[in-house]
Amino acid sequence: MTELIEHNIFLVLFLPVWVCLFILVNHFVKFTDTKKLTYFFTLFSTTVGLIFSSFLLYSTLFPVQRTIENSLLWFQYGNLSVYFGVFIDNISAIFLFILMCVSLAVHIFSYDYMKDDEDFHKYFFYLNFFNFSMSALLVSSNLIQTYIFWELVGVASYLLIGFWYKRADVSLAAKKVFWINRIGDFTFLLALITLIYYSVSYLQSFPQGEILAFTNLDAITFNLQALMSETTFVSILLLLALSAFVKSAQFPFQTWLVDAMKAPTPVSALIHSATMVCAGLFLILRLYPMFMASEFILHLIFIVGLFTAIFCALFALPQRNIKKMLAYSTSSQLGLMFFALGALSPTAAIFYMCAHAFAKSSLFLTTGYVSKLYGDELNMNKLGGVRYNKFLLALYWFIASVSLSGMAFIGRNAKEAIYGSFFNPSSYLTLSLLVLVSFLTTVYLFRSYLKIFEFESNLSMKYMSSYSMTFGILGVVLLSLCGGAIINNELLKAITPQNFFFTEYHDLGLALILIAAALIGISVAFITVKIKPKRNIIPRFIVKFFYRGAYIDSIFKFIGSILFISVCKVLKFIDEYIFDGCVKLISFISVKLSHLVKKLQNGNFQTYIAYAVFSAGLILYLAFQIYSYIAKEL
């Protein structure tokens, strides 16, 4: 089976591309216009991907850790060899498996959700393109190939976020998301160019070496450090970390994730759970040997992750729009993963990524179903009473909320893995902040649950039944429900990156603290929604401050507009007075010379003789002066 997998990696990897080609050809040739055929091929592609990723996961983890490599020479220039291929280890295998699980659930869900849309075929074309780009990113064999598919993931997400581009707000949101992500892409490119420059020098001693390959990253890191100064090395890592922060919507770049909510809700479930937003997390995990070489960068990742986890949880609290609340929640939970990476707990980060993927995709897909029931309404203050008609939807949201808040299921085990490393007397402050994140998470999740599912709504609900939407949610809910039992200590040891040891941690005190924080959070949510205190405990301006996301978006717009206008003025000056000025000066000189020559040509022979004598005399005079100067010097 292992040989079969290795020999057919490229075939399965490019399967979504074949589906894209079929949809594209069918659009022009019109073999058939049935939506079911497009849906069937898309579902087939994703199902095969899930089965294949399951075998890959098993092959790389059991009985011992191993890697699967299959590369082809792309191009060669001197000692520089660049390959295009796959490098699959325990990290890429688990990410690929999670991607396919969530993607399959989203594809199943999307049929009924999008069946009335006029661009049904285009939607599934974009989904397949995104699947291919993200899968190829996860299995790339070197950093150059990773950057290529990093950009393709950005293009695919832009197309999906701006799917309803005819709406002005959607079009603007997609452009904003695209341009904010350009910041991270630019820093990635700068770091890549610098690494290539030093890698060429490094490969002088290794003519057959592959440039920036992930096969032996420890040795490459050691040799690159020897070639460059400490400042240069740290600067490269800083650029890569900034790229990861932008892609994973860490503070202050979380604003793009809120704008990405303009996409269809299944797209939000796909992008926000374990795919695009986790690309930054994956980049740091893939280059972890490099990041471990700089204590400063690890501390920066630690601080940014903790800061994001706290503040984005606060931003999520006052939100009325369900998807905006979930967007801030995604940034907050990703902050915990970055926090774990900075604290040298990569296994805990991977484990929590799995828990978050299943729970968050459940919440997004449930939101999509609820919004369909109420005519695409997303304001939770206008919704209510869903549980009385759709009990399963309420149950799905409740299970995902319990998991994400750390009370039970896979989420409790994952949070215990992160929090456990700080459960000691020397780090009570850090642990207290982490517990605060869990408390805030519980408050905004159960506040949303009470508003959406428990109380009566003033809006009329559309009574609809959808098997595809129900089964799509059910798949990820079951994974969230049973994942804690499936992912045991043996599996965690297997997914632990090299040079790390997974330490089993079980503490009754920590478990009780997490449960207590969650129960208090549920009580606070119930009080604020059901009882509604007549007097606001928190001043209104503070609530508005967090509701507006600390005005980060407005600051970006202000700085962007000033910077844009300033750059435009400078470019206008350069264009008008330098480039145009040079052209105009040449034309001015040409015109004046032409006028002078025109006056000299008057048709008078005597005048021409005078000009000739004058010119000859001037030449003789200059020649005499030059001769005298040379003779004097000699």
Q: What is the 3-state secondary structure (H, E, C) of 544-581?
A: HHHHCHHHHHHHHHHHHHHHHHHHHHHHHHHHHHHHHH
Q: What is the pLDDT of residue 432?
A: 83
Asked whether 120 and 26 are in contact (CB, 8 A), the reply is no
Identify the H or E element spanning 144: helix 143-161
DSSP state of 294: -
Helix, strand, coil content of the chain in percent (nearest 5): 75, 5, 20
Per-residue burial over 240-266, b if 16 or more Cβ lie within 10 Å, else e, is bbbbbbbbbbbbbbbbbbbbbbbbbbb
- 601 phi and psi, to 5 degrees? -90, 85
**pLDDT beneath 50, residues of the chain:** 206-208
How much of the chain exceeds pLDDT 90, in percent?
Answer: 5
Distance CA 122, CA 130 (A): 12
Q: What angle is formed at CA 411 by the lines to CA 508 and CA 65, rounded to 5 degrees?
A: 95
Q: Is it true that the peptide bond before 252 is cis, omega within 30 degrees of 0?
A: yes
Q: Where are the domains of the chain?
A: 549-601, 607-634
Helix/strand/coil (H/E/C) assignment for every residue in 380-414: CCCCCCHHHHCHHHHHHHHHHHHHHHCCCHHHHHH
Asked whether 291 and 298 are in contact (CB, 8 A), the reply is yes
Q: What is the pLDDT of residue 289?
A: 85
- 477 phi and psi, to 5 degrees? -65, -40
How much of the chain exceeds pLDDT 70, in percent?
Answer: 88
Q: What is the pLDDT of residue 245?
A: 92
The burial class, CB within 10 Å (0-12 / 13-18 / 19+), for 232 is: middle
Q: Is it true that the peptide bond before 63 is cis, omega within 30 degrees of 0?
A: yes
- Rg of the chain over Cα atoms, rounded to whole angstroms, equals 31
Distance CA 69, CA 66 (A): 10
Q: What is the pLDDT of residue 375?
A: 79
Q: Helix or strand or coil: residue 521? A: helix
- 292 phi and psi, to 5 degrees? -65, -20
Q: What is the pLDDT of residue 207?
A: 47
Q: For 411-464, how does the pLDDT look when each residue is reduced to its tens digit (9 = 90+)? A: 787 888 888 766 665 677 888 888 898 899 999 998 888 888 887 777 677 767
How many C-beta atoms lie closer than 10 Å to residue 307's C-beta?
A: 17
Q: Is it true that the peptide bond before 425 is cis, omega within 30 degrees of 0?
A: no
Q: What is the pLDDT of residue 276?
A: 78
Reported in sequence order, the residue ranges of 19-170 that DSSP labels E, i.e. its strands, are 68-77, 80-88
DSSP letter string, 207-236: TTPBTTBSTTHHHHHHHHHHHS-HHHHHHH
Asked whether 432 and 422 are in contact (CB, 8 A), the reply is no
Q: What is the pLDDT of residue 506?
A: 65
Q: What angle is formed at CA 340 by the lines to CA 352 and CA 419, rounded to 5 degrees?
A: 75
Q: Helix or strand or coil: residue 268? A: helix
Identify the H or E element spanning 281: helix 279-286
